[in-house]
Structures are given as structure tokens and as C-alpha cells.
Chains A and B, each alone.
Chain A
Amino acid sequence: MPFGEVDLDGFLCSTVDWSPAGISPLVVGGQNARHVSRTYSTSFTFDVRVAWRAFGIWFSMLLSARGEDVLRVKGLLNIGAAGLVLIKGVQHVVYSPDHLKGWPGADHRSRIVFITRYIRSEELLASLEAFRPLFGVGPRLLEATAPV
């Protein structure tokens, strides 16, 4: 795909049924086997700098399509020479990104955690992968909620 073009079908995961009914329930606990879990935690990194504007577009599209199900997000993004950006939000409420001057530690990789409802880790990562041509890098999963 030429640089600058986005596979919107891939981003929106048209092959995936986004409706809660289309996602098989995550059943938790032996004594509580009928409890259906719906909350997923996904943290990931980008090993090199990420294009901030492209990430912003992806994030805006995600919130526009599924904001109610993005329960919470927090992350530090390495945007290269421009430094790092702190993002945080709860559902549709996203705070103005903070452009920070220095890293809190020696690890300068981006680190982002999403707490979502009905949006599985693999779906979130697939959506990010669709933006790889614009980001300049793909996501790498650090930690995800494991079915119990």
C-alpha cells in the first residue's frame, strides 16, 4: 500500500463482528462459572519512535467508533526529536496531551495501556497494525488480560 494510504477496512476490522454478541464470552472462575467477563487490559509498546500525528488520527478514530468501550487509556509516547507525549483518558473524555521534556527513566520506549470493554487485545493490536504504514512501526504486545 502506498505511503499515506490507510486500509480503513483493516482499521475498522470489518472481518470482525464488533458487536458484543459476536464475541465469545470470557467465562471466569470455577465457582462462578456463569459470570461473563467483558473487560480487557492491553499494554503495548512501539520499539522505535511513533509518528505522533498518525497516532492521534488512529486514537481519534477509535474513540469515535468505540469511545464508550475504551474505559481508560494511559501512555507515554516516544515521538522522536519532539520528545515524549503523555496521553490519558476515560471513555470519551481525553485530557490534552502533555508534551514532556524528559523521560522518567532509562527506558525510552513508548508504553501504552488500554482498559477496554468488549474490545479484545488482538482486535486492538490488529487495528494498530492497519496503521503501521502511517505510524512507521507496528505495536508489540507487552501484557494482556489472560482468560481465566
Chain B
Amino acid sequence: MQYEEFVERVQQRSALASFADAEEATRATLTVLGEYLTGGEGPDLASQLPQGVAEILHQQPPERSTIFSLNDFLQRVGEEEGVGTEEAQDHARAVMDVLEEAVTEGEMQDVRRQFPSEFDPLFRG
């Protein structure tokens, strides 16, 4: 999957008005995902993503993660994107949906396993 297709799919699923808005939602969610993932999982995931998306996950995560709940995650996405928590949840869910289509099943399982069940609303069934 190429960068444009990734962002277009995010736009379709989140009903965002423009490609640029979908790019911003993608950047925000993947930035926070990169802050959350540990144990080298961010770079592992990035290795399967297209240029333009992968770089976001290669950013250095903070030394002290502050994300321990779904609400923490959505608040951070909202801060990054400049939207409220409800909107952030719609956008984050759309990005996770597309992420699942862009990488192998096994890689997505590894990502999913780093999230306790309270994060289920971020993922497909």
C-alpha cells in the first residue's frame, strides 16, 4: 500500500473533508501509537508501512510514557490533531483500521497484544 492510498482510506473511513485533514489524523494517531508501543514494536511496524507513514513511527518515543488508558490515548491524539476526544476516537479508529489492512496479520497481532482490552474500541472486532 502506498502513502496516498493509506491516507485516502483513512479519509474514506473517517469522513474527513480533505486529504490534508486525513493526513493530519494519520500523523496524530501514529505519533501517539509510537509513543505507546514499547520493546521495538514501533520500528517493527514501521518496516511494513509505506514511506511517509513509516517515518512517523520511527520518531524517538518519550522516556516516560504517559499513556495508560484508552482515555489517555485519545486525549493525546486529540492534542496532536487539535480536536476533541470523540472526534479523535473516530479518527484513531479509522487509522487503526487502515493500519490493519496495510501490514501482515502477525504484525498487527503483535501491536494489538500491547493493548489491554480496555483499548478494544480502537480496533476491529
Q: Is B116 an interface residue (CB 8 A)?
A: yes
Q: Is A40 an interface residue (CB 8 A)?
A: yes
Contact of A32 among B65, B69, B106 (CB under 8 A): B106
Chain A interface category by residue count = 20 to 34
Compute how far the CA of A90 lies from the CA of B106 in the bound complex, rounded to whole angstroms: 23
- In the complex, how many angstroms separate the beta carbon of A65 from the nearest chain B beta carbon? 16
Q: Is B81 an interface residue (CB 8 A)?
A: no
Contact of A29 among B69, B109, B114 (CB under 8 A): B109
Give the number of chain B interface residues (Cβ < 8 Å): 19
Please state if B105 and A39 are interface contacts (CB–CB under 8 Å). no
Compute how far the CA of A48 lies from the CA of B75 in the bound complex, rounded to whole angstroms: 34
Please state if B104 and A32 are interface contacts (CB–CB under 8 Å). yes
Contact of A72 among B38, B64, B107 (CB under 8 A): B38
Point out residues on B near A: beta carbons under 8 Å.
Answer: 38-39, 41, 63-65, 68-69, 104-107, 109-110, 113-117
What are 17 A-to-B residue pairs whose CB atoms are below 8 Å?
Answer: A29-B104, A29-B106, A32-B107, A35-B104, A35-B109, A39-B110, A41-B114, A43-B117, A71-B38, A71-B114, A72-B114, A74-B68, A74-B69, A90-B64, A91-B38, A115-B116, A148-B109
